[in-house]
Amino acid sequence: MTAAIEAREVHLAYRVGGGVFGRAKIVHAVRGVSLSLQRGTTLGLVGESGCGKSSLARVLLGLARPAGGEVLYGGERLGNDRRAIARCTQIVFQDPYSSLNPSRTIEEIIRLPLQVHSIGTAAERQRGVAEIMASVGLARRLAASHPHQLSGGQRQRVAIARALVLRPEVVICDEPTSALDVSVQAQILNLLLELQTQFGLSYLLISHNLAVVHHMASRVAVMYLGRIVEEQDTAALFQSPRHPYTRALLASVLTPEPGRGVPDAALGSAYPNPLALPSGCSFHPRCPLAMAQCATVAPPAVARDGRRVECHLEEA
């Protein structure tokens, strides 16, 4: 089956610093990432802040041109055609308030993508807005309201409606519940699952919340310093993580068990400098299982039993 979206050896770098007399430096945000999102499924993407998750999302959305590699949408190469990419791939941002135009009404916000892509007549657009508002659980009476008049959960429903009004196949959810009250988070997650079934959506779920990923995703990719270091089915990854970094991430999760205290991921306090990437395995300076070869030789991606892991320990 053709994947809904597929990245092949994607690279993305940024120039930082410099100026009149300074010398610009290069940050390699995404370094040869390959991943595949199957139709109708959810792929979780996890990792520490600054590991390249959002940069990868920008490439998939056509907002950043990769320095190498390619992205296929339903098996097709769309190149730099941002309109075509937007028709098949949309995003739901982390903060629903800052991502919505405060001067526009809810109806105008949701209708705008249809206008930009010249889809339908005015009456058809109005009908499309009404249908998608009903699908996400927004009362029609809210159409004339502005974002500041809505609750956080309602604003996120508006953001979801705006993303779905074009009927895309892929939706990138970038921390879709982290800015919401805990009481509302479950409602939004369940709504996303319902919409996935209703519209046959494929989700790329970017999140720091491993509980959310465990609940939503059928497969998980773990990112570290611009690389996917492990990818496997969700149940298998949470039960038997293979990469030392994945184990550290899972060990860092707070639990309600009495007496456990604050978890220690044993990664140290210093995050590696992305401007000076370590040689060999990029994780070796923080890895408790590092061997001599880890400092000099980059590990290959070992695919076995439905999982893919970049670690020398997997080569045996």
Instruction: State the CATH number of the domain containing residue 66.
Output: 3.40.50.300
Burial class (CB in 10 A: 0-12, 13-18, 19+), 83: exposed
Per the domain annotation, does 70 fall within a domain? yes
Per the domain annotation, does 264 fall within a domain? no
Amino acid at the residue 233 = D
Per the domain annotation, does 76 fall within a domain? yes
Q: Are 107 and 92 in contact (CB under 8 A)?
A: no
Task: Pull the structure tokens for residue 51.
Answer: 């590991």
Per the domain annotation, does 27 fall within a domain? yes
The count of domains in the chain is 1
Per the domain annotation, does 192 fall within a domain? yes
Q: Which helix (H) or strand (E) holds 70?
A: strand 68-73
**Three-state DSSP class for residue 269:** coil
One digit per residue, the tens of pLDDT, for the chain of length 316 reads: 789 999 999 999 998 877 667 788 889 999 999 999 999 999 999 998 889 999 999 999 999 999 999 999 999 999 889 999 999 999 999 888 888 999 999 999 999 999 999 999 999 999 999 999 999 999 999 999 999 999 999 999 999 999 999 999 999 999 998 878 888 999 999 999 999 999 999 999 999 889 999 999 999 999 999 999 999 999 999 999 999 999 999 988 755 555 544 445 567 656 778 888 899 999 999 998 999 999 999 999 999 889 999 999 998 6
Per the domain annotation, does 266 fall within a domain? no
Per the domain annotation, does 163 fall within a domain? yes
Over residues 288-299, the pLDDT tens digits come to 899 999 999 999
Per the domain annotation, does 268 fall within a domain? no
Residue 135 CB contacts under 8 Å (≥ 6 apart), including other chains = 161, 164, 195, 198
Report in angstroms the alpha-carbon separations of 210 from 160, 214, 238. 21, 6, 9
Residue 260 CB contacts under 8 Å (≥ 6 apart), including other chains = none
For position 232, what pLDDT does the model report? 96
Domain housing 120: 5-254+273-314
For position 87, what pLDDT does the model report? 95
Short-list 138, 37, 156, 41, CA closest to 94: 156
Give the number of other CB atoms < 10 A from CB of residue 72. Answer: 16
